[in-house]
Structure 1
Amino acid sequence: MKKLMVILLTLAMALSLAACSGGEEPAAEGGEPVVLTGVGEGFGGDITVEVTLEGDTITSVEVLSHEESAGISDPAIEETPAAIVAANSTEVDTVSGATYTSDGIIEAVNAALESAE
């Protein structure tokens, strides 16, 4: 009887450990949005973005901080994230007159997406 109890307890412990050590579900699956942060280099310095993914879909790109020139960079800061969301890709055109800022945003989004892999 004692042997049976030891075997059952050992089996129960093994099963509970196996259940706890299962592989993790990929971050972008399961229906929950995943928020990632990335940094790219603009004309004036670092550009930090926040990217929200739902599955494989980019649902939001927000520029959190930058050191770009006010006025000159504004169109890129507004248009580039919107273009990335619309295309669900970073393969988008840069904004004329703010190419470095556009490229920095694209680089930051790519860095964020790579961190999810």
Structure 2
Amino acid sequence: MKKIVKIAASALLSVGVLVGCGSTSALKDGTYNGEAQGHNGPIKVTVTVAEGKVSDITVDEHAETEGIWEKAEEAVIPAIVGKTSADDAETVSGATVSSTGIKDAVNKALESAK
């Protein structure tokens, strides 16, 4: 009986690992637009996807404060390029709302690429 339980548990674990491995899905290649709220207004981005991952992000419009915006832009955008979402990019201290706005705008653009 113990052997059957071990085999069943092992089989369930294997299925869980296989399902988990399949959860990272590539994005459809193309160019997508997204918009999210920043500190002082909307942040609009154009995101390019190539080979299933973000290859480029262009900020089309923002109304963020100079000096603070650049800190967020210089840290967050490179952290997203090469990924399939902006979720893991860290926000910048002192530019949290701008950082989050960039991440949210990129993720909204990527919704169309799924």
TM-score exceeds 0.5: yes
In the TM superposition, structure 1's runs of 4+ consecutive aligned residues that sit over 4 Å from their partners are none
* 1:1-117 matched pairs, under 5 angstroms: 28=28, 33-90=29-86, 91-117=88-114
- State the AA in 1 paired with 2:106: V
Distance 1:81 1:34 in 2: 18
- State the AA in 2 paired with 1:72: I
Larger radius of gyration: 1
Query: Unaligned stretches of 5+ in structure 1?
Result: 1-26
- State the AA in 1 paired with 2:98: T
Distance 1:40 1:55 in 2: 25
Q: Secondary structure at the match of 2:81?
A: helix
The answer (yes or no) to whether the contact 2:85–2:107 under 8 Å persists in 1 is no
Distance 1:37 1:59 in 2: 14
Deviation at 1:60, TM superposition (A): 0.8
Query: Unaligned stretches of 5+ in structure 2?
Result: 1-26
Distance 1:57 1:74 in 2: 24
1:7-60, Cα deviation, whole Å (9 max, x unpaired) = xxxxxxxxxxxxxxxxxxxx82xxxx5111100111001000110001321111
Distance 2:30 2:80 in 1: 16
Q: Which TM-score applies when normalising by structure 1?
A: 0.68
Q: Secondary structure at the match of 2:34?
A: strand
Distance 2:73 2:50 in 1: 22
